[in-house]
Chain A
Amino acid sequence: MTIPAQAITTRRIAKDVLELHVGPQHPGSGHMRFVIRLDGDIMVEVDPDIGFVHRTMEKLAENREWLKAQPLFERMAILDAANVTIGYFLALEKLLDIEPPPRAKYIRTILCEISRIASHLYGFGILGIFLGHSTAYMWFFGDREVFIELAERLTGQRLTYSFFLPGGVRRDIPTGFKDDFEKAARYIEKRLKEYEAIFMNNPVIRVRVEGVGVLTKDMAVRLGVVGPNARASGVKHDIRVEEPYDAYPELDFEVPVYKEGDALARFLQRVDEIRESLKIIRQALKAMPNGPIIHERYLRMYTKVMKEVLETQGRAKIPAAMINLRPPAGEAYARAEAARGEYFYYLVSNGGTKPYRARVVSPSFRNVLLFKYLMPGYRLADFPAIYGSLDYFPPEADR
């Protein structure tokens, strides 16, 4: 089919504009390419060229059984693996018309919050290294290790948990987890104070991020920005509050909202979110209900051996009916709040063992617009500062 005329556009380029390809092999670009047009030191146009890590996940999901999509979708943002896949299971459970038992909901919430904290620390590290502060980079990544080990204690895996099942979770909370968590929480709260001293109140860093990359509330709403980027611009939008799932309706937490919309506000908003996440986990551990960790529809199919494993080791094995899952025909959507923003899953089933269409929209894909509309007018040296503060993750945007 021929390309119609409206797909080809011409743009007038101003005189004396330097076109810089900040390409994939650039230390400050991540896995994508930017075509930046500079007038002196000021950027006039930024064209994000994404797709370098496109792994065709939506197409691949159509060739795999329903349950096998979890390791697939986890790789969108492996640092935040729990939050990335919880949306898929929420949509799948809506198709199947089941809800996980309360204990499973609380365990899911705990893992999601641990994941969120680890992801925020990663984002801070990237901001630090883009601003040239290698100490901040090393410290944030080193402290992230604490939460990765906490997740390992819970799920057995450091990064790609594959922990959820439709209607429950795969493992129960191990003994001693509460004490481990308290140690980790105390450690990170102490470190957060230190970070504010060395990093955020560092005059050099402060002057690089304050007032840089200001995203007004009007522009944020118009561009459909999600996540901490929107919350730092005054838009109070958090799926955990708007469409609560899992244990969030029963837990008490706040959603920090900042008004300034600059890079500093985005950083501070995420620090506050880490503190709120610690609160959530503490409450969830205290209020943990007893009960099964997997829905009774699948519990009924358990053999004696599987029941024994569940009782003694706390591991839920996967029954055959779950492997050959056949949800009834229909469509369902679900949204979840990951560290970077809102994940949107839309699953279409035609009654078969594989999805007919699995649509996933990641928050980084929705935030790509910001590169095009927020960057022009700032200096070239502000480019890494704004990029780092947006917490943009290219593999997530490309899927």
Chain B
Amino acid sequence: MGVIATLIDLLMWPPVFYLVIFPGFIFTFVLLIILIWAERKVAGRIQMRYGPLEISPRLAGALQLVADLLRYLTQEIIIPRRADRFPYFIAPIAAFVLGMLPIVAIPFSPHYYPIPMNDSILIAAALTTIPPLLTILAGWASNNKFSVIGGARESYLTAAYEAVILISIASIVLAYSTLDFTKAVMLQEQITWGILLNPIAALAMLVGIMMATSRFPFEIVEAEPEVVMGPYTEYSGIMYGLCMGISYVRMFVYNLIFTLLFLGGWHPAGLISTGSFVVDSILVPGAIVATKAIVLSLVMVFARSVYGRYRIDQALAAGWGFWFVIALLSLVVSIGVKAIIGWRA
């Protein structure tokens, strides 16, 4: 039929395919499920226990998150009587969707991107700064003292980690002299990976990402023994499921940016050629980028089993006093790197 054929054609159109299926909405969603399962399983193994095992014992409990999601979908959503309704509803949904928004500016190969852009790095970095505002909004709209305290903590931390992340991105952009992801990866294919060009910026950005997405030891906004669930205390049902997913989505997006800037993006893809356009230019580079980002995410969630939780003033002191200075230092290193690249190229 005409309608179905049109819909399939629409779906197969690269920008829509990119944003909805791979690596957009559906891929991120499935990845979220696998990532959270991997975190719980690894944490379980380290902690002398099994981790999730009940739901699908033969798959080692991999469908646990699917079961959790189904449970959230069928659970009653309780809205506190004195919460501010519109912001209360909008905040987690918008945070989840806007958390995925920077993918619109991240290419997975020189030929596979949603929207042609010249300044994709700038746009991606700018879009990542939106979700914290919605977290603070959720904290305010819940009308609960614990949520307000959590939102206040998030607002303090946002200033600290965004300074670190944005200055790290700025310093590596300085080394590459381009605001385009594609050109940055091509430069890395020619010379070497960003992490070797400017390891200090890479380190600062890694710690900044952990601070931004509530990975231990920076799980301060949602610190359970102190502020119950932080800004997300009053959410139940599927809203709670969304709130849980927000920080993982943001972490994955940050890791994609990190992969493209520091880990060579789709680097070994240029060495493989099978002749087919789809495989050469879409599947292989896409798989490489996604794999690098996933490995990095696994490393970050592994920190849960090793660290405790910082106090907010200690995290802020670390963020401003130490990592901010390191990020500024990386700017200086970048100037040196740029001089060397300019001299060689």
Report A-B touching, CB under 8 Å.
Answer: yes
From residue 309 to 331 of chain B, which have CB atoms closer than 8 A to chain A? 309-314
Chain B residues near A135 (CB-CB < 8 A): 43, 46-47, 305-306
In the complex, the answer to whether A383 meets B310 with C-beta atoms within 8 Å is: no
- Expressed in whole angstroms, the Cα–Cα distance for A379 and B49 within the complex equals 34
Give the docked Cα–Cα distance between A20 and B146 (Å). 8
Report A-chain residues with C-beta under 8 Å of the C-beta of B305.
134-135
Do A28 and B225 touch across chains, with their CB atoms under 8 A apart? yes
Give the distance to chain B from A148, nearest Cβ to Cβ, in Å. Answer: 15
B68 located at the interface, meaning its Cβ lies under 8 Å from any Cβ of chain A in the complex: no
Interface string of A287-323 (1 = CB under 8 A from B): 0000000000000000000000000000000000000
Q: What are the interface flags for A133-171 relative to B under an 8 Å C-beta threshold, 1 for contact and 0 otherwise?
A: 111111100100000000000000000000000000000
Chain A contact residues: helix, strand, loop or mixed: helix
Say yes or no: A202-B307 contact (C-beta < 8 A), given A130-B225, A132-B223, A383-B226.
yes
Shortest Cβ distance from B44 into A: residue: A138
- Bound CA–CA A105/B306 (angstroms): 43
A204 touches B47 (CB 8 A): no
Indicate which residue in A26, A129, A137, A383 contacts B228 across the interface (CB closer than 8 Å).
Answer: A26
In the bound complex, do residue A139 and residue B311 qualify as a contact, i.e. CB atoms below 8 Å apart? no
Quick one: which of A41, A130, A384 contacts B312, CB cutoff 8 A? A41
Assuming the contacts A18-B145, A132-B216, A139-B47, asked whether A381 and B312 have C-beta atoms less than 8 A apart, the reply is yes
B270 in the interface (beta carbon within 8 A): no
Is A198 an interface residue, CB under 8 A from the partner? yes
Contact B313 A41, beta carbon cutoff 8 Å: yes
In-complex Cβ contact of A202 among B43, B220, B228, B308 (8 A): B308
**CB contact under 8 A between A131 and B308, given known A27-B224, A380-B149:** yes
Closest to A40 in B: B152
Q: Which residues of B contact A207 (CB under 8 A)?
A: 310-311, 314
- Smallest CB separation, A197 vs chain B (Å): 11
Q: A132-B308, A382-B311 are in contact. Are A204 and B226 (CB under 8 A)?
A: no
B219 within 8 A of A: yes
Which positions 350-399 of chain A face chain B at CB distance < 8 Å?
A: 379-384
- Would you call B271 an interface residue if the criterion is a C-beta within 8 Å of the partner chain's C-beta atoms? no
Counting CB contacts under 8 A, is A205 at the interface?
yes
- A18 (CB) vs chain B CBs: closest residue: B145
Report Cα–Cα, A382/B146, bound state, in Å.
Answer: 16
Please encode chain A, from 214 to 256, with 1 for each CB lying within 8 Å of some chain B CB and 0 for all others. Answer: 0000000000000000000000000000000000000000000
Interface check A208, CB cutoff 8 A: yes
User: Which of B226-240 touch A at CB < 8 Å?
Assistant: 226, 228
B87 adjacent to chain A (CB < 8 Å): no
Inter-subunit contact B228/A134 (CB<8 Å)? no
Residues from chain A with Cβ under 8 Å of B15 in the complex: none
Q: How far is the CA of A132 from the CA of B43 in the complex (A)?
A: 13
Chain B residues near A128 (CB, 8 Å)?
308
- The proximity string for B residues 289-316 relative to A, scoring 1 for CB distances below 8 Å and 0 otherwise, is 0000000000000001111111111100
CB distance from A356 to the nearest CB of B (A): 43
Task: Report how far A137 CA is from B313 CA in the complex, Å.
Answer: 24
Report how far A134 CA is from B308 CA in the complex, Å: 8
The chain A residue sitting closest to B307, CB to CB, is A204
Contact partner of B313 among A129, A379, A384, CB < 8 A? A379
Residues of chain A within 8 A of B216, CB atoms compared: 132
Interface string of A16-31 (1 = CB under 8 A from B): 0010100000111000
A142 x B48 contact (CB < 8 A): yes
A128, A137, A198, A204: most-surrounded residue (chain B CB, <10 A): A204
Q: Which of A129, A138, A142, A202 contacts B225 (CB 8 A)?
A: A129
* Docked pose: A208 CA to B216 CA in angstroms: 14
Cβ of A26: which chain B residues have Cβ within 8 Å of it?
228
Residues in B whose Cβ lies below 8 Å from that of A137: 47
Whether B304 contacts A134 by the Cβ 8 Å rule is: yes
Establish whether residues A204 and B224, one from each chain, have CB atoms under 8 Å apart when the complex forms.
no
Query: When chains A and B are docked, how far (Å) is the Cα of A136 from the Cα of B43?
Result: 12
Give B1-54 interface residues, CB cut-off 8 Å to A. Answer: 43, 46-49
Task: Give Cα A198 to B305, complex, Å.
Answer: 10
- Measured CB to CB, the closest approach of chain B to A116, in angstroms, equals 23
Q: Specify the chain A residue showing the minimal Cβ separation from B156.
A: A41
Q: Which residues of B contact A380 (CB under 8 A)?
A: 149, 226
Alpha-carbon distance A134/B224, docked complex (angstroms): 12
Contacts of A202 in B (CB 8 A): 306-308
Is B61 located at the chain interface by the 8 A CB criterion?
A: no
Chain B residues, CB < 8 A from A20? 145-146, 149
What is the chain B residue whose CB lies nearest that of A130? B225
Nearest opposing residue in chain A for B305, CB measure:
A135
B217 close to A (CB within 8 Å) = yes
Q: Give Cα A130–Cα B224 distance, bound, in whole angstroms.
A: 8
Give me 19 other A-B pairs in contact (C-beta within 8 A), A132-B308, A380-B149 excluded.
A20-B145, A20-B146, A41-B313, A129-B225, A132-B216, A132-B217, A133-B307, A135-B305, A138-B47, A138-B49, A142-B49, A202-B308, A207-B311, A207-B314, A208-B314, A379-B312, A381-B220, A382-B311, A384-B226
In the A-B complex, the 9 residue pairs with the smallest Cβ-Cβ separation, listed nearest first, are A28-B225, A132-B309, A138-B47, A133-B308, A384-B225, A381-B311, A131-B308, A205-B308, A204-B217
10 pairs from A and B in contact (CB 8 Å cutoff)? A27-B228, A28-B224, A129-B225, A130-B225, A132-B216, A132-B225, A133-B308, A204-B308, A204-B310, A383-B226
